[in-house]
A and B are shown apart, each in its own frame.
Chain A
Amino acid sequence: MDLLAYALQVLTVIVAPLVVGLAMGMDRKITARMQNRRGPPVLQPFYDVGKLLSKRPMLLSELQATFAGAALLFHAAALALFVSGSDLLVTFFVSGTGSVCLVMGAFSARSPYSFIGGQRELLAILAYEPVLFLVVLSIGMRSSFLVGDIQGGLLHDLPLVLLALVPVLVVLLEKSPFDVPTAHQEIISGPYVEYSGPYLAILEVARWFQLAFVFGMVTLFFWSGDAVISIAGKLALAFAALFATIVIDNASARLTRENMVSFMLIAGIGLVAINLLVLFILKGSI
């Protein structure tokens, strides 16, 4: 039984990023349909990664490869910690380390666009990390930070906190209006600009792991005693969050760096604060 649970966890760590890859394909398809286009096949992200792996590797600095690998491994470790039910706060920080590795990779290639991309990615981290941190703390505030112990009631108690996760997802999915670091028209995909071929594929997969963790946090908000309802509800909630970001992406234009940071901090922190305040008034304690 124990072994089975263990195997299930390992399986989840492997399958979750693949599901995210599929979701990215759906994202592109839905976006295309919204723009009255047919769009690529749903499996397109996998074709892209497969193609990138087959290209000739090209680098500016060996550290680029090191940091790409480190980003992948840190994000994978974060997901593994999350799935195995460890401390959400530690998981969050490990995942943050992965993001920082991307920044260092961008900086270690001396190239103008890469440098600007790195700076902007840092600003994006400044924008979303506090909100994500507050989301983690408000989840942990209820009882425990251990993912394994978090059960139910989150959606009921913390609806605005879930709402605060949506702009975070917009930044992480590199979508308008917050695709500041990877603005492809202005700075040619920013931190990724000097990555190509297999190394870009590594970063793409790292992003899937990262998104798997953040979407995992979204799924925590739904919980039911029945396993089938639970899983269906979790997937539905994650998909709803993804759909919301797609709608926002297609309905908005890119904001400036300053706008991104101030909006994320004011709106994100405000939502969490209002939620906690209301909860405090209603329940008398948090």
Chain B
Amino acid sequence: MMTLESKMRIRSPWIMHFDTGSCNGCDMEVWALLTPRYDIERFGAMNRANPKQADILLITGPVTKRCEDRLRNLYEQTPEPKLVIACGDCASTGAPFHNCYNVNGGVDKVIPVDVYVPGCACRPEVLIDALVLGLSKWREKAAGADKEAEG
């Protein structure tokens, strides 16, 4: 049995999108999530543009060195429990910017990432999939916690 708490958490994932030096391709796809075609509000998701009120960080771009501190700041300002989704190839691995002198090459070099979304640019359907995957991780975690409590 899931607790009421985690049920509510899964039904209300508020997102924040942050661009760490992306070419804006992925950013457009992230914004497409809000349009009538994809409408992620039907999952209860809302774009808050504020880490303090967000549950899920959607990060695009390969994380330039200038961006690193900002990204870390935003991550620290997001209260637990939180999820980080690296959107697109750049955010996942650095992709074409791999080994560039001015980028870190992937979000996971700076903050822990829960879900990687492939694609250049990533497609909105896949982003929704990633969101659901991330939420199911929470569900599993909650179930695991329940089992532990039972055991």
- Are A and B subunits of one complex? yes
Q: Which residues of A contact B46 (CB under 8 A)?
A: 48
A285 in the interface (beta carbon within 8 A): no
- Please tell me if the beta carbons of B44 and A196 are within 8 angstroms of each other in the complex: no
- Max chain B Cβ within 10 angstroms of own Cβ: one of A46, A188, A195: A188
Q: Which residues of A contact B42 (CB under 8 A)?
A: 32, 37-40
- Please tell me if the beta carbons of A189 and B50 are within 8 angstroms of each other in the complex: yes
Given A37-B36, A184-B49, A44-B79 contact (CB < 8 Å): no
B48 in the interface (beta carbon within 8 A): yes
Interface residue from B6, B41, B55 paired with A40 (Cβ < 8 Å): B41
Given A28-B41, A37-B36, A56-B80 contact (CB < 8 Å): yes
- Which A182-230 residues sit within 8 Å CB-CB of chain B? 184-185, 188-189, 192-197, 200
- Please tell me if the beta carbons of A193 and B50 are within 8 angstroms of each other in the complex: yes
Q: How far is the CA of A55 from the CA of B14 in the complex (A)?
A: 12
From DSSP, what is the main secondary structure of chain A's interface residues? loop
- Which B71-89 residues sit within 8 Å CB-CB of chain A? 77, 79-81
- Please tell me if the beta carbons of B12 and A48 are within 8 angstroms of each other in the complex: yes
Q: Which residues of B contact A54 (CB under 8 A)?
A: 5-6, 8-9
Q: Which residues of A contact B77 (CB under 8 A)?
A: 58
Q: How far is the CA of A188 from the CA of B48 in the complex (A)?
A: 7
What is the distance, in angstroms, from B57's C-beta to the closest C-beta of chain A?
14
Q: Which residues of A contact B81 (CB under 8 A)?
A: 55-56
- Please tell me if the beta carbons of A196 and B53 are within 8 angstroms of each other in the complex: yes
A-B contact count (CB 8 A): 77
Q: Which residues of B contact A184 (CB under 8 A)?
A: 48-49
- Please tell me if the beta carbons of B41 and A39 are within 8 angstroms of each other in the complex: yes
B11 in the interface (beta carbon within 8 A): yes
Chain A 19-62, CB-CB to B under 8 Å as 1, else 0, gives: 00000000010001001111111001011101100111110000
- Please tell me if the beta carbons of A194 and B4 are within 8 angstroms of each other in the complex: no
Given A48-B12, A58-B52, A194-B52, A39-B5 contact (CB < 8 Å): no
What is the distance, in angstroms, from A44's C-beta to the closest C-beta of chain B?
5
Given A28-B41, A32-B39, A50-B4 contact (CB < 8 Å): yes
- Please tell me if the beta carbons of B52 and A193 are within 8 angstroms of each other in the complex: yes
Q: How far is the CA of A56 from the CA of B148 in the complex (A)?
A: 22
What is the distance, in angstroms, from A181's C-beta to the closest C-beta of chain B?
15
Q: Which residues of B contact A194 (CB under 8 A)?
A: 52
What is the distance, in angstroms, from B62's C-beta to the closest C-beta of chain A?
25
Interface residue from B4, B41, B80 paired with A55 (Cβ < 8 Å): B80
What is the distance, in angstroms, from A60's C-beta to the closest C-beta of chain B?
10
What is the distance, in angstroms, from A186's C-beta to the closest C-beta of chain B?
10
Q: Which residues of B contact A28 (CB under 8 A)?
A: 41
- Please tell me if the beta carbons of B48 and A189 are within 8 angstroms of each other in the complex: yes
Point out residues on A near B: beta carbons under 8 Å: 28, 32, 35-41, 44, 46-48, 50-51, 54-58, 184-185, 188-189, 192-197, 200
With A51-B8, A189-B53 already in contact, 17 other A-B pairs whose C-beta atoms are closer than 8 Å? A32-B39, A35-B36, A37-B36, A39-B41, A39-B42, A40-B42, A40-B43, A40-B44, A44-B11, A47-B11, A56-B79, A188-B48, A188-B49, A193-B52, A195-B52, A196-B52, A200-B53
Top 9 nearest A-B pairs by Cβ distance?
A50-B8, A196-B52, A51-B12, A56-B79, A47-B11, A37-B39, A47-B12, A54-B5, A36-B36
| A/B interface sample: 27 pairs, CB < 8 A | A32-B41, A37-B36, A37-B39, A38-B42, A39-B41, A39-B42, A40-B44, A44-B11, A47-B11, A47-B12, A47-B44, A50-B4, A50-B8, A50-B12, A51-B8, A51-B11, A54-B8, A55-B79, A56-B79, A57-B79, A58-B77, A188-B48, A193-B52, A194-B52, A195-B52, A195-B53, A196-B53
